[in-house]
């Protein structure tokens, strides 16, 4: 009887340890890891409107770089956060805009994935926004597959988050789809 209790206690302890280890700890600028988005994109949309009066605008852009061998990798969705909350997501070569109050803001980007180790790949940035200005931030998602002679494959994943200058940002917007995202239920 005691051995059954011991085994039951051991299993419960192991389950709690696995669940605790599965939780993804994200930086303060991001949002809750449980939040995910459904993303839709649309081609050939007019350029974004300027920021609302008294506001600044942040343009969140995702660019995707993947090798031909990674066609089965799918198209990742990238979440974007500001000041501790996720504000939207992109998928593939796309963008969305967000009007913000002037002042200091802390930004985050990270892949939206059911795999915790992928969710830990984040990029961080900060800015002091000024009313009337537009700021462009790019999350460059890279998926490269390496195939080996023994039928094995390895996928390299990388995520870079950088602020773009106005010319580069406008070009990326022009070459991208518009993204709309809604939190999943």
Query: Model confidence over 58-112: pLDDT tens digits?
Result: 999 999 876 655 555 667 789 999 999 999 999 989 999 999 999 999 999 988 8
Whether the CB-CB separation of 77 and 41 falls below 8 Å is answered with: no
What's CA 67's distance to the chain center, in Å? 20
Tell me the two tokens of residue 22: 């599965």
pTM of the model: 0.78
pLDDT in tens, 117-172: 555 678 999 999 999 999 999 999 877 665 666 666 566 667 889 999 999 999 99
* Angle of CA points 51, 55, 57, to nearest 5°: 50
Strand-pair partners of 128: 104
Percent of the chain with pLDDT over 70: 70
What are the residue ranges spanned by the domains of the chain?
25-183
Quickly count: other Cβ atoms within 10 Å of residue 176's Cβ: 22
Assigned token pair, 185? 């239920």
- Identify whether the C-beta of residue 61 lies closer than 8 Å to the C-beta of residue 90: yes
């Amino acid at each position: 009887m005691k051995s059954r209790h011991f085994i039951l206690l051991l299993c419960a302890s192991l389950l709690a340890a696995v669940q605790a280890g599965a939780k993804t700890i994200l930086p303060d600028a991001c949002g809750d890891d449980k939040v995910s988005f459904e993303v839709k994109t649309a081609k050939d949309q007019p350029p974004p409107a300027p920021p609302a009066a008294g506001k600044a605008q942040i343009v969140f852009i995702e660019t995707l770089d993947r090798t031909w061998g990674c066609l089965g990798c799918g198209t990742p969705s990238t979440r974007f956060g500001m000041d501790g909350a996720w504000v939207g997501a992109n998928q593939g070569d796309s963008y969305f805009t967000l009007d913000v109050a002037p002042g200091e803001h802390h930004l985050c980007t990270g892949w939206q994935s059911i795999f915790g180790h992928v969710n830990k790949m984040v990029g961080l940035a900060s800015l002091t926004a000024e009313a009337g200005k537009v700021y462009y931030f790019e999350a460059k998602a890279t998926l490269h597959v390496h195939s080996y002679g023994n039928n094995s494959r390895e996928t390299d994943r990388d995520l870079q988050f950088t602020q773009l200058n106005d010319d580069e940002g406008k070009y990326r917007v022009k070459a991208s789809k518009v993204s709309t995202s809604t939190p999943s239920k």
